[in-house]
């Protein structure tokens, strides 16, 4: 199983940018997809986006609410995935989780502890 640790959260003004990191330990990271999921305070889970493995051409997909503003990338040599967030809006305020989708599974298996992003002036 993969252990995941998010970092990079914090307070940012509307219109600003922030880059989150997701550091993974475990041998299966490079073969897994990485998904980002967010949760506003007191609300449910919202899927943000994902990046597939090298085998799947690092294909990305995004929720409509963040498409064109957020970009997911990964560096398998560092066992790290990233979420670049631009043009941030107050409604992007949430705890952001990274999670992995192991090869051959449909379930988001390992989850980080989450990092809080607050967009406010």
Based on the shown chain and the rule CB under 8 A, indicate whether residue 108 belongs to the binding site for another protein: yes
Residues whose CB falls within 8 Å of the CB of residue 10, separated by 6 or more in sequence, listed in order: 18, 116, 117, 118
Based on the shown chain and the rule CB under 8 A, indicate whether residue 37 belongs to the binding site for another protein: yes
Based on the shown chain and the rule CB under 8 A, indicate whether residue 58 belongs to the binding site for another protein: no
- Binder of another protein out of 41, 44, 55, 121 (CB under 8 A): 44
- Binder of another protein out of 8, 9, 26, 61 (CB under 8 A): 61
- Least Å distance between CB 115 and another protein? 11
- Sign of the Cα torsion 72, 75, 76, 79 reads negative
Residues whose CB falls within 8 Å of the CB of residue 84, separated by 6 or more in sequence, listed in order: 17, 19, 70, 71, 72, 73
Based on the shown chain and the rule CB under 8 A, indicate whether residue 114 belongs to the binding site for another protein: yes
- Least Å distance between CB 43 and another protein? 8
Report the phi/psi class of residue 60: left, alpha or beta, with left for phi > 0 and alpha for psi in -120 to 50.
beta
Based on the shown chain and the rule CB under 8 A, indicate whether residue 13 belongs to the binding site for another protein: no
- Which residues of the shown chain bind another protein in the complex (CB under 8 A)? 35, 37, 44-47, 50, 61-64, 97, 99, 105-109, 111-114
């Amino acid at each position: 199983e993969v252990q995941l640790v998010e970092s990079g959260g914090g307070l940012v003004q509307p219109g600003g940018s922030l880059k989150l990191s997701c550091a993974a330990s475990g041998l299966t990271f490079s073969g897994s997809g990485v998904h980002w999921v967010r949760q506003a305070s007191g609300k449910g889970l919202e899927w943000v986006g994902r990046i597939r493995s090298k085998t799947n051409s690092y294909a990305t997909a995004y929720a409509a609410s963040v498409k064109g503003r957020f970009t997911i990338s990964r560096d398998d040599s560092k066992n790290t995935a990233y979420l670049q967030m631009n043009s941030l809006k107050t409604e992007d305020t949430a705890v952001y989780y990274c999670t992995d989708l192991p090869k051959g599974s449909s379930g988001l298996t390992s989850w980080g502890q989450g990092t809080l992003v607050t967009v406010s002036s």
